[in-house]
Homo-oligomer: A and B are copies of this chain.
């Protein structure tokens, strides 16, 4: 039945040779890989405004110069990632670039930060998408957490089905969102130019001095705005998915994405300023802007739907990246091996499920209020940003190809900006980003522990192919059959035991001298030719006396190199609830014996016919 539900939810299993890597053209790649970056437009500018409104609405004009700073940073990042694309055409994730150029520890730091970050991506994007939905339908506002969790479950199921094949389908919402945003910005500028649309609040003129605005506040607002740059790295990780010539196409797509992002960001910031929109908790800035420009008509709802869709798609970026990174790290033995296993639909299903479960956990813990996670998320992005730029600097210094000086300078500028932003984050938002200082070293230590264990296991399991198998004399083997009475099950176990060895011992553990005497009498009557050993259990435990008895047998067997096998029956009942009617203590006894002793447990199934 479970199998049927699984088929219904994620589809039939695929054969291994059904895997086919669709190569992406620029238009599809832009859609699939930029959803994370473009979706930041829906909450990035708002983050700047939230910082400024704390001083007063007159401070909101500072959002304009601050976003100018963000645009400069965007340009620097685009240029330096362009170089990574050409240097690592096999897909240079921060983990790979840092590991190769800076060593394992930096690679693990980048990898750990990214893994945590993808979880945050999903939680933050889906929560933001949910906010977009509940801004439009206030009745749902109290069910934010539930809506968000349902969305995560749906995305997880879609990814288990294998969403990578449906790039075409995914590209519609992205272009839909870009189109809607262009319409909003166009209408906004038209309204501003003609003065036909009344602002929500009057805006203060640019340059108005405001009490209480200092460098610290501005840096804080700037670092908030930087959260709009998350996702810029996506292209550089996915170069192999592009059509040939892959690096050229990826680089062009990256530039295209940078340009669109720049236009949307500046448009959003300008219009929010012009129409005097204040960030409030019950409605997003983008929703307010849409309402001001169009009223609550069909167009407004389309805008909200497109926002919700792009935010949900941004979560999907996490789903394409996390399982792949986990696979790479598991292949290098830094993550548990199950992350290398392909599921029924050829996706790395363990990675997909882990990501889904952890982001649901985050959403529930933070009750859907993931805004507070955005700074953490942004820091988590800038750590691998910084490390991959630094890695590239080392790369150029080592390789020194033609024109390496210029390339080095580009990455150097990128690196310097990234480190500055990291510093600004830690200076201005320490109370929100401090967990990074604890979590990242913690996961790096964990990666090392895992690595060490796998190396130790490999060492222990390695054998010399030239050494022949050890030979054991069959007649030395001892087979122990614990018996609870004289039944068909015991008969079956004894028959099996005797077919393996002539050295079979039946053991009965009794709670009272009377029970033991009765058993011995019946055994004598049965006349199987097999020796019965009876043990008296003072504490009604079966494991205890059995364990001691096996120890004695084992001690003798070890001298000849023989093995000791304990035969246990296991009942299989006709109806599931019947199994509740049988003491399942056999399972516990087997587990305890296997753990304590170096013996073999043979499980003989007994299938009830009714």
A561 to B118, CA, bound (A): 57
Q: Which of B498, B501, B539, B594 contacts A13 (CB 8 A)?
A: B539
Which of A381-389, A392-400, A462-470 contacts its partner? A462-470
Inside 8 A of A20's CB, which chain B residues have their CB?
Answer: none
Smallest Cβ distance from A506 to chain B, in angstroms?
Answer: 11
- Segment from A121-129, A184-192, A437-445, A522-530 that makes contact with B: A522-530
Interface assignment of A607: CB less than 8 Å from any CB of chain B: yes
Q: For the complex, give the distance between the alpha carbons of A119 and B84 in Å.
A: 69
- Please determine whether A499 and B539 come into contact, CB atoms closer than 8 angstroms: no
Nearest-neighbor residue (CB-CB) of A529 within chain B: B469
Cβ of A599 and Cβ of B605 under 8 Å apart?
yes
Q: Let me know if A367 is at the binding interface, CB within 8 A.
A: no
The stretch from A94-102, A155-163, A298-306, A578-586 touching chain B is A578-586
CB of A538 within 8 Å of the partner chain: yes
- Give Cα A122 to B468, complex, Å: 67
Given contacts A491-B469, A580-B336, A605-B594, contact A474 B500 (CB under 8 A): yes
A540 touches B598 (CB 8 A): no
Q: How far is the CA of A473 from the CA of B526 in the complex (A)?
A: 22
- The residues of B that contact A602 with a CB separation of less than 8 Å are 565, 600-603
Report how far A521 CA is from B99 CA in the complex, Å.
34
| Chain B residues with CB below 8 A from A527, complex form | 468
A131-139, A252-260, A449-457 - interface stretch: A449-457
Are B600 and A572 touching (Cβ within 8 A)? no
In this assembly, does A4 line the interface, its C-beta being within 8 Å of a C-beta of chain B?
no
Q: Which of B465, B491, B563, B595 contacts A496 (CB 8 A)?
A: B563
Judge whether B465 and A494 touch: CB under 8 Å: no
Residue of B nearest to A474 (CB): B499
| Closest B residue, CB atoms, query A501 | B500
B610 touches A337 (CB 8 A): no
Instruction: Judge whether B453 and A469 touch: CB under 8 Å.
Output: no
A22 contacts the other chain (CB 8 A): no
With an 8 Å Cβ cutoff, the count of chain A residues facing the other chain is 82
Known contacts A499-B477, A602-B602; is-contact A460 B337 (Cβ 8 Å): no
CA distance A281 to B196 in the complex (A): 63
Q: Is there a chain B Cβ closer than 8 Å to A488's Cβ?
A: yes
Question: Which listed residue, B336, B342, B463, B538, touches A581 by the CB 8 Å rule?
Answer: B336
Q: Are B16 and A539 in contact, with the CB atoms below 8 A?
A: yes
Cβ contact of A498, chosen from B469, B495, B572, cutoff 8 A: B469
Docked complex Cα distance between A590 and B603 (Å):
10
B residues less than 8 Å from A457 (CB atoms)? 608
Query: How many angstroms from the CA of A126 to the CA of B425 in the assembled complex?
Result: 55
B residues less than 8 Å from A537 (CB atoms): 16
**In the complex, are the beta carbons of B477 and A461 less than 8 A apart?**
no
| Per-position binary interface string of chain A over residues 333-348, scored 1 when its CB falls under 8 Å from any chain B CB and 0 otherwise | 0001110011010000
Docked-complex contact A16 and B540, CB < 8 angstroms: yes
Compute how far the CA of A528 lies from the CA of B468 in the bound complex, rounded to whole angstroms.
6
A538 and B17: CB pair below 8 A? yes
Q: Is A604 an interface residue (CB 8 A)?
A: yes
Given A465-B522, A602-B600, are A538 and B16 neighbors across the interface (CB < 8 Å)?
yes
User: Which one, B495, B570, B583, contacts A337 given CB within 8 A?
Assistant: B583
A372 within 8 A of B: no
A164 within 8 A of B: no
At the interface, yes or no: A562 with Cβ under 8 Å from chain B?
A: yes
Residues of B close to A604: CB separation below 8 A: 600
State whether A495 touches B468 (Cβ < 8 A).
Answer: no
Which residues in B have their C-beta under 8 angstroms from that of A496?
472, 563, 600
Q: Which 10 pairs between the two chains have the least Cβ-Cβ distance?
A: A461-B487, A472-B499, A15-B538, A602-B602, A461-B488, A601-B603, A13-B539, A594-B605, A336-B581, A465-B526
Instruction: Name 22 interchain pairs, CB-CB below 8 A, sorted by A.
Output: A13-B539, A13-B541, A15-B538, A15-B539, A341-B583, A453-B578, A461-B489, A462-B487, A463-B491, A465-B486, A465-B525, A469-B491, A469-B529, A472-B496, A474-B500, A500-B500, A570-B594, A572-B595, A594-B603, A602-B602, A602-B603, A603-B603
User: What would 14 more interface pairs be, CB under 8 Å, given A336-B581, A460-B608?
Assistant: A16-B537, A16-B539, A450-B581, A453-B578, A457-B608, A468-B527, A469-B495, A471-B498, A472-B496, A500-B501, A570-B594, A572-B594, A590-B603, A595-B605
